[in-house]
């Protein structure tokens, strides 16, 4: 629990929940997501962020070019920014490079530290969670995350968002599996549906602010949105669902976004690596309409075996959906940051895969539980050196 003093002189007592989106990606245990942000091994800095949000009038903004991705987006009314985001992903895929991404915890005041510590190197993608972004919006940060995300996008960084939505029946976090009746969400008369869709509408409002560039003050931005991820596991309230119900819910979310006028979404979907029998085949849950598929896979450093990622299932996903990525990756249980990120490309190439990108998480604990630990690129011993071999955050896959 942190105590934050807002800039307007109001004392805000804020509980910032760190969401570590790498559940049992290798062992099937619960995701380590409730670690207080103070346990991060990233040292807070008083240095200002790399750039300061501005109030640029719309007349000074550069028009978005007319982009044509190799693969049409599932939203026929996708914004120019969404088409350009997809075109960027297609260019990476076509030219044989892997974009390097860094997840941020935007609900902490020093949320830019993982990027600042990498300078002058830069990443190609930045990830965030909509639940954390909603909380940050109430904290009165000096540099509002929505504005900073818009600046990053204007600088050519691809934005990708997950959504650890609360259990709509209990109000508890996404790891509360005491209720998991997805059918109830498709019945508008149920209280669970009312809670879920109200929450979703609030998150769509955040995406709409990116779509409009905060009402024209910034360049509009698109987001690779990855909701209801890792459903083939058993640690989220939406996981292990009936496949038909899950796909129907996904389709309803897409329709709902379109009806709300939110068209800056590139729809991404990711499963968990099949590392034990309780994790079901990802192919059984792939939504009918999706722009990108991915696999979340973490390397447990406590294992006796050599470093490596289990990418079981990604080849099958990529065969059906050419835009494919390692949507989350890094070490599990790293206390000292000794894990070598070169393992990512090595594991992919060994499996005959060329992922569009790979996203690493942020530091989220001391690693004693086997899941948390040092994860962000700058905290890995070879992280900065590795990124230096990837110009503009693009690693050659050769």
Q: Which residues are catalytic?
A: 230, 328
> DSSP readout, 94-140?
HHTEEEEEEE--TTSTTTTHHHHTTTT---SEEEEEHHHHHHHTTTT
The dihedral built from the CA positions of residue 378, 381, 384 and 386, taken in this order, carries a sign that is negative
Contact 252, 260 (CB under 8 A): no
Q: What is the dihedral of CA 105, 111, 117, 118, to 10 degrees?
A: 60
Rounded CA-CA distance 3/101 in Å is 30
Sequence-ordered list of residues with C-beta below 8 angstroms from that of 95, at least 6 positions apart, any chain: none
Rounded CA-CA distance 393/43 in Å is 23
Nearest Cα residue to 178 out of 169, 165, 191: 169
Nearest Cα residue to 89 out of 79, 98, 81: 98
Cis peptide before 120 (omega within 30 of 0): yes
Nearest Cα residue to 135 out of 10, 19, 296: 19
Nearest Cα residue to 173 out of 127, 206, 132: 132
Rounded CA-CA distance 166/179 in Å is 11
Rounded CA-CA distance 306/299 in Å is 10
> DSSP readout, 12-71?
EEE--B------STTT--------BGGG-SSPP--SPPSS------GGGSPPPP----SS
Nearest Cα residue to 173 out of 332, 273, 31, 36: 31
């Amino acid at each position: 629990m942190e105590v934050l003093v807002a800039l307007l002189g109001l004392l805000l007592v804020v509980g910032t929940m760190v969401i570590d989106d790498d559940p049992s990606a290798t062992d099937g245990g619960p995701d380590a997501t409730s670690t207080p942000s103070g346990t991060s091994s990233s040292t807070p800095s008083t240095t200002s962020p790399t750039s300061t949000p501005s109030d640029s009038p719309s007349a000074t903004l550069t028009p978005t070019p007319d982009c044509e991705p190799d693969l049409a987006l599932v939203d026929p009314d996708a914004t120019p920014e969404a088409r350009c985001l997809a075109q960027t992903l297609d260019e990476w895929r076509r030219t044989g490079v892997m974009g390097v991404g860094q997840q941020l915890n935007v609900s902490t005041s020093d949320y830019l530290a993982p990027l600042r510590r990498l300078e002058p190197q830069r990443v190609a993608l930045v990830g965030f969670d909509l639940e954390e972004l909603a909380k940050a919006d109430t904290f009165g940060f000096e540099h509002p995350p929505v504005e900073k995300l818009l600046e990053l996008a204007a600088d050519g960084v691809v934005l990708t968002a997950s959504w650890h939505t609360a259990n709509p029946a209990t109000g508890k976090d996404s790891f509360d599996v005491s209720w998991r009746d997805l059918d109830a969400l498709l019945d508008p008369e149920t209280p669970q549906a009312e809670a879920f869709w109200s929450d979703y509408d609030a998150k769509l409002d955040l995406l709409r602010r990116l779509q409009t560039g905060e009402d024209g003050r910034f360049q509009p931005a698109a987001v690779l949105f990855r909701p209801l991820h890792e459903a083939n596991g058993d640690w989220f309230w939406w996981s292990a669902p009936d496949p038909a119900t899950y796909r129907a819910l996904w389709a309803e979310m897409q329709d709902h976004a379109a009806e709300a006028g939110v068209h800056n979404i590139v729809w991404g979907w990711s499963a968990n690596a099949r590392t034990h029998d309780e994790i079901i085949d990802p192919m059984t849950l792939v939504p009918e309409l999706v722009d990108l598929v991915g696999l979340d896979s973490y390397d447990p450093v406590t294992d006796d075996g050599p470093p490596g990622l289990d990418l079981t299932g990604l080849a099958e996903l990529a065969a059906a959906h050419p835009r494919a990525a390692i949507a989350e990756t890094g070490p599990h249980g790293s206390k000292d940051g000794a894990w070598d990120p070169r393992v990512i490309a090595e594991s992919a190439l060994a499996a005959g895969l060329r992922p569009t990108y790979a996203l690493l998480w942020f530091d989220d604990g001391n690693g004693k539980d086997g899941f948390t630990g040092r994860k962000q690129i700058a905290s890995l011993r070879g992280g900065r050196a590795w990124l230096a071999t990837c110009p503009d955050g693009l690693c050659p896959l050769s």
